[in-house]
Amino acid sequence: MNGPSRTFTPGGPLRGTIAVPGDKSISHRALMLGASALGETRISGLLESDDVRATAAALRAMGVAIERDGADWVVQGLGTGGLMSPRAPLDMGNSGTSARLLSGLVASQDIAVTLTGDASLSRRPMGRVIEPLSRMGAEFRSRDGCLPMTVTGAKRAIPIAYRLPVASAQVKSAVLLAALNTAGTTTVIESETTRDHTERMLQAFGAKLESGAEDGAKVIRLKGESGLRGQNVMVPGDPSSAAFFIVAALLVEGSDLTIRNVGMNPSRAGLLAILREMGGAIEIAAEREAGGEPVADLRVRQSTLAGLDIDPALAPSMIDEFPILFVAAALAEGTTRTTGLGELRVKESDRLAAMAAALGTIGAQVEEHSDGLTIHGTGGAPLAGGGPVPTRLDHRIAMSMAVAGLASTRGVTIDDASPIGTSFPTFIDTLERTRA
């Protein structure tokens, strides 16, 4: 059942200083590694979204004590191999990260877990984690490689060497999490570098992990059964959430917005590089480190953007940001072309089809291809607007079209605003505050 529709209308500029919620990818991993460590893990800045709450609830159902202590979250770890079979299926909601990474965590433990999800998640393919985890000894029962899915962990998992067939941080992370409770050394090889939050955090928790370049690929080796120790984790602001406000400030006349404490991990920095190349006025200040991750403050001012041909090699470093980049391209001068984006067809929705249809509905000129979009920009003129635009239960489609509404003539109506809560529960409040 759809939630409430909502219309986002043009108005004043975006001004002031904001902070975006904690990084979703890092929040998931902090909970899972905290559960797998011995001792207490204290997490500050955890993203309190539907997706992350699904991970926390699943870990609690497997015996992990997780409590809020003031602004922090505290996890009492059970050590590697310490999870227990839950009494009921675990609901992953809309979270592909929860489903795939927890499959890895369970795969090398002598327990059985059934994972379920909402209608959107139940259409997303799990075969990409089933294949390597089955090689490690786990057993899977699923509906055509989708949820609901039962994972039966291996009593004694087998270390493997696995070359990723597609650039996927989730698949890489699932294999590395399974390796924690697997005797011997597990190796993951990726031809295209993906976000490295898992490797950074594993090392911070004390895992015996090494990574480096070999024969043009990144090779990661993890020695299992070495034990993790509880840590204090500081979660930086999510760059994927910041992206919506960055693009909004670039597009809305008179905007001058500062976004504090944004994660600047190089494996997530593709969008910033592209927007600056398009002519976006984005200043990076107060660069520092928090919890093993680089962070900075960003000052963004309204700018005239120019279309680009986007290098497909940048796709893994900005895979979640393409929907909002498409909005920026729709108002740029000239044409923006993207290729190599087949992965977007198996996200929370088919994001290529969804964004092509959504932008077309509100007056943008868009051509859809098998692996990308070609967008002919307005040269800065506002889009017509309209709707209701189908969000397809996809939080990034919903927020991208909200931003498009700010740069339109008569506003943009989305059919369902509720998916926004999966990653950015305070999005609408923050947006209204910047325009007050």
Name 106's Cβ contacts closer than 8 Å, sequence gap at least 6.
83, 113, 138, 151, 153
Is 320 among the catalytic positions? yes
Neighbours of 68 (CB within 10 A): 12
Torsion of CA 22, 26, 27, 29, to 10 degrees: 180
Q: What is the dihedral of CA 184, 226, 62, 68, to 10 degrees?
A: -150
Rounded to 5 degrees, what are φ and ψ at 94? Answer: -105, 10
Question: 223 a known binding residue?
Answer: no
- Say whether 414 sits in a helix, a strand or coil: strand
Helix axes 127-135, 169-179, angle to 10 degrees: 30
The reply to whether 76 sits in an annotated binding site is no
Q: Which of 23, 320, 394, 416 is catalytic?
A: 320
Has 29 been labeled as part of a binding site? yes
The conformation of residue 333, written as its DSSP 8-state character, comes to B
DSSP string of 265-304? -GGG-HHHHHHHHTT-EEEEEEEEEETTEEEEEEEEE---
Query: Pick from 255, 300, 256: which is nearest to 279 by CA?
Result: 300
Q: Is 25 annotated as a binding residue?
A: yes
To the question of whether residue 396 is assigned a binding role by annotation, the answer is yes
> Which residues contact residue 167 at a Cβ distance below 8 angstroms, ignoring those fewer than 6 apart?
190, 191, 192, 193, 194, 315, 316, 343
Q: How many angstroms separate the CA atoms of 80 and 228, rounded? A: 7
Query: 24: annotated binding-site residue?
Result: yes
351 is in an annotated binding site: yes
User: Could you tell me where the beta strands, DSSP code E, fall in 13-57?
Assistant: 15-19, 38-44
Q: Which of 234, 256, 218, 376 is nearest to 14 (CA)?
A: 256
Q: Is 109 annotated as a binding residue?
A: no
Q: Is 53 annotated as a binding residue?
A: no
- DSSP bridge pairs for 367: 374
Residues belonging to the binding site are 24-25, 29, 96, 124, 168, 170, 320, 347, 351, 396
Residues belonging to the binding site for 3-phosphoshikimate are 24-25, 29, 168, 170, 320, 347
Residues belonging to the binding site for phosphoenolpyruvate are 24, 96, 124, 170, 351, 396
Catalytic positions are: 320
